[in-house]
């Protein structure tokens, strides 16, 4: 069944359909990397597969380009597998079923994996061609991008000799991405020895906030439920004596927490609750323009005995939450509207004698990220918390003298009319990993219009794919 055979550019969609027929969810990379090797063999091209299943396929420059410097074409092989409840596809063993709907390619009951199969398909179409002018090509297909950029991280840069890279994992046509954030996770742990007290159980609940992505939505003024709980605990201390059983909010480092709850024990519940609810109503009024659906509630539970934090530790925690930096730290002055450095308290969790605070840090400048970590170390030390950092990924800094960026802008004007948008994103991309591995790398990230990626509604614009492919060809022609 060739559902996409009538589409243009023909080769691109033929390869995309083949890729769809091979299982390639993250973590399931053997078959798709084998497919790439088989492709190379069929076309008489040299190819290498490494231990992480990354594949590099090499092709000589065409007539007149034999001696030109190589260009790296890059995309990732894995996709995020999502399916509807009634879909019977087994992602481990089955392909997915793409179909055409107007200007879009979609998949029956599943995510489409055009993120990032369409990049692979475009690169294969160029490798298979005998009518496209291009310099020597190093087509790099990486694995497990979606789960942590593991393929890119593991890649031996010696497999590549190119210093120019076109990454095709962006999703906005007419836009060229030229910088991304680096980041890390920072865990603070406050250990305590629980003590048992008697009193009335009280629950403080923040709910209904918008949340959002801790990178690309950090500048939208949304309220972080965990940080807000710090403020409410501070208010509560002014209202009356309480003991803290625990506080919990957020379950992902890279999401702004949209709810948080704290459990307390108090002696005189009625007065405490009345006064605190008044303070919480005042705060709700203050944030209503940012968080129209916010709900801040105190509720009274049963009398009983409860394990709580010692007073000194619960004070430490609420003061730590008051002092901790969170949100946008710096905006870029080179790229308008870009958040340069930020952090997000994504998880606040209490369990058996420890309170954990997980921060996600990002910066498009490596030194700024290092400094932010130092600030958190200092803060943790002040409050007697232990620390752990992990999940470091490198930033891709803006390159003032990028030739590829200028090629893209010129080609876009020529082919599509109008000015291309130059953009940087405040989230991690594989380009950051490559920029850290290949000194002096000139890189751009582009791609066709994709919507609702990582969901069953994922769809790829056919006309935008044609436009992107034409742009890639024209950029390659300029890379003499
Ligand atoms: Zn992607």
| Per-residue model confidence as pLDDT tens digits over 82-101 | 999 899 999 999 999 999 99
Kindly report, residue by residue over 64-80, the tens digit of the pLDDT.
999 999 999 999 999 99
Mean pLDDT value across the chain: 96
- Distance between Cα 350 and ligand 1 center (Å): 34
One-letter-per-residue 3-state SS of the chain: CCCCCCCCCHHHHHHHHHHHCCCCECCCCHHHHHHHHHHHHHCCCEEEECCCCCEEEEECCCCCCCCCCCEEEEEECCECCCECCCCCCCCCCCCCCEEEECCEEEECCECCCHHHHHHHHHHHHHHHCCCCCCCCEEEEEECCCCCCCHHHHHCCHHHCCCCEEEECCCCCCCEEEEEECEEEEEEEEEECCCEEEEEEEEEEEEECCCCEECCCCCCCCCCCHHHHHHHHHHHHHHHCCCEEEEEEECCCCCEECCCEEEEEEECCHHHHHHHHHHHHHHHHHHHCCCCCCCEEEEEEEEEEEEEECCHHHHHHHHHHHHHCCCEEEEECCCCCCCEEEEEEEEEEEEECCEEEEEEEEEECCHHHHHHHHHHHHHHHHHCCCEEEEEEEECCECCCCCCHHHHHHHHHHHHHHCCCCEEEEECCCCHHHHHHHHCCCCEEEECCCCEECCCCCCCEEEHHHHHHHHHHHHHHHHHCC
Q: Which pLDDT score, from 0 to 100, does residue 1 have? A: 43
Structural contact between residues 448 and 170, judged by C-beta atoms closer than 8 angstroms: no
Ligand 1: distance of its center to the CA of 429 in Å? 8
Q: Ligand 1 centroid to 307 CA: how many Å? A: 46
Q: Ligand 1 center to residue 164 CA distance, Å?
A: 20
pLDDT of residue 2: 56
Looking up tokens 């600030």 gives: 375
* Distance in Å, CA 97 to ligand 1 centroid: 19
Percent of the chain beyond pLDDT 70? 100
List the catalytic residues: 78, 145
How many angstroms is it from 340 CA to the middle of ligand 1?
Answer: 22
Residues 458, 106 contacting (CB under 8 angstroms): yes
Expressed in angstroms, the distance from the first to the final Cα of the chain is 40
Peptide bond into 9 cis (omega under 30): yes
For 402-436, the pLDDT digits (tens) are 999 999 999 999 999 999 999 999 888 999 999 99
For the segment 102-129, what is each residue's pLDDT rounded down to a tens digit?
999 999 999 999 999 999 999 999 999 9
Q: Identify any residues that bridge with 59 across adjacent strands, giving them in sequence order.
A: 137
Q: What residues form DSSP beta bridges with 264? A: 202, 244
> What distance in angstroms lies between residue 169's CA and the mean position of ligand 1's atoms?
5
Q: Which CATH architecture has domain 188-390?
A: 2-Layer Sandwich (3.30)
- Res. 465: pLDDT tops 50: yes
The span from the CA of 188 to the CA of 198, in Å, is: 29
Q: Report the pLDDT value the prediction gives residue 43, as an integer from 0 to 100.
A: 98
In the reported structure, the alpha carbon of residue 178 is separated from the centroid of ligand 1 by a whole-number distance in angstroms of 16
pLDDT confidence of residue 253: 86
What CATH code is assigned to 10-181+396-478? 3.40.630.10
- Give the Cβ contact number of residue 244 at 10 Å: 24
d(CA 402, CA 405): 5
- How far is the centre of ligand 1, averaged over its atoms, from the C-alpha of 26 (Å)? 11
Condensed to tens digits (0 to 9), the pLDDT of residues 320-379 reads 999 999 999 999 988 888 999 999 999 999 998 999 999 999 999 999 999 999 999 999
Give the Å distance between the CA of 358 and the centre of ligand 1.
25
Q: How far is the CA of 18 from the centre of ligand 1 (A)?
A: 18
Whether residue 213 is predicted with pLDDT greater than 90 in this model: the reply is no
What distance in Å separates the CA atoms of residue 271 and residue 242, rounded to the nearest whole number? Answer: 12
* pLDDT tens, position by position, 296-336: 999 999 999 999 999 999 999 999 999 999 999 999 988 88
- Mean pLDDT along residues 240-253: 94
Q: pTM of the predicted model, to two decimals?
A: 0.83
Vertex 215: Cα angle to 319 and 54 (nearest 5): 125
Tell me how far the alpha carbon of residue 146 lies from the centroid of ligand 1, in angstroms. Answer: 7
- Please say if the pLDDT value at position 477 is more than 90: yes
Task: Identify the weakest region by mean pLDDT among 23-27, 130-134, 161-165, 216-220.
Answer: 216-220
Residue range 428-463, pLDDT digits in tens: 899 999 999 999 999 999 999 999 998 899 999 999
| Other Cβ atoms closer than 10 A to 80 | 16
Question: How confident is the model over 255-311, as pLDDT tens digits?
Answer: 899 999 999 999 999 999 999 999 999 999 999 999 999 999 999 999 999 999 999
Domain ranges of the chain: 10-181+396-478, 188-390
CA distance to 24, 33, 117, 213, 305, per residue, from 78 (Å)? 5, 10, 8, 21, 51
The whole-number pLDDT of residue 240 equals 93
CA distance 434 to 393: 11
Tokens 């944030």 belong to residue: 287
In angstroms, the CA 478 to CA 480 distance is: 6
Give the residue among 218, 221, 225 at the shortest CA–CA distance from 247. 225
* 123 CA to centre of ligand 1 in angstroms: 15
């Amino acid at each position: 069944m060739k559902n996409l055979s009538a589409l243009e550019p023909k080769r691109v969609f033929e390869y995309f359909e083949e890729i769809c027929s091979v299982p390639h969810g993250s973590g399931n990379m053997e078959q798709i990397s084998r497919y790439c090797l088989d492709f190379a063999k069929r076309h008489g091209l040299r190819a290498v597969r490494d231990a992480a299943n990354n594949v590099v396929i090499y092709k000589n420059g065409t007539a007149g380009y034999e001696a030109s410097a190589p260009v790296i074409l890059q995309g990732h092989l894995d996709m995020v597998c999502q399916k509807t409840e009634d879909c019977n596809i087994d992602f481990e063993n089955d392909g997915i079923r793409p179909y055409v709907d107007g200007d879009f390619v979609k998949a029956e009951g599943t995510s489409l994996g055009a993120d990032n199969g369409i990049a692979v398909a475009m690169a294969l179409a160029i490798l298979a061609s005998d009518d496209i002018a291009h310099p020597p090509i190093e087509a790099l297909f990486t694995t497990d991008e979606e789960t942590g950029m593991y393929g890119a991280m593991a890649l031996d840069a010696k497999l590549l000799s190119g210093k120019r890279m076109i990454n095709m994992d962006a999703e906005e046509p007419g836009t060229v991405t030229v910088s991304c954030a680096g980041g890390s996770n920072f865990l603070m742990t406050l250990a305590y020895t629980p003590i048992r007290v008697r009193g009335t159980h009280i629950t403080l609940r923040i709910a209904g906030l918008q949340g959002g992505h801790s990178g690309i939505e950090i500048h939208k003024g949304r309220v972080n439920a965990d940080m807000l709980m710090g403020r409410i605990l501070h208010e509560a201390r002014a209202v009356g004596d309480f003991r803290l059983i625990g506080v919990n909010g957020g379950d992902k480092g890279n999401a702004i927490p949209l709810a948080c709850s704290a459990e307390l024990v108090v002696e005189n519940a009625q007065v405490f609750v009345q006064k605190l609810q008044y303070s919480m109503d005042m705060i709700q009024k203050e944030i209503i323009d940012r968080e129209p659906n916010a709900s801040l509630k105190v509720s009274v539970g049963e009398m009983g005995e409860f394990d709580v934090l010692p007073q000194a530790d619960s004070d430490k925690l609420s003061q730590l939450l008051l002092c901790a930096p969170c949100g946008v730290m710096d905006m870029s002055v080179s790229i308008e509207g870009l958040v340069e450095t930020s952090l997000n308290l994504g998880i606040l969790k209490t369990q058996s004698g420890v309170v954990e605070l997980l921060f996600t840090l990002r910066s498009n400048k490596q030194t700024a990220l290092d400094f932010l970590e130092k600030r958190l170390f200092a803060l943790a030390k002040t409050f007697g918390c232990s620390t752990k950092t992990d999940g470091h990924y490198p930033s891709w800094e803006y390159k003032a003298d990028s030739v590829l960026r200028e090629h893209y802008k010129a080609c876009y004007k020529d082919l599509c009319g109008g000015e291309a948008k130059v953009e940087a994103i405040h989230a991690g991309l594989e380009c950051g990993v490559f920029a850290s591995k290949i000194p002096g790398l000139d890189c751009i990230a582009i791609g066709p219009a994709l919507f609702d990626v990582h969901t069953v509604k994922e769809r790829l614009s056919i006309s935008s794919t044609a436009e992107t492919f034409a742009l890639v060809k024209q950029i390659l022609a300029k890379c003499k």
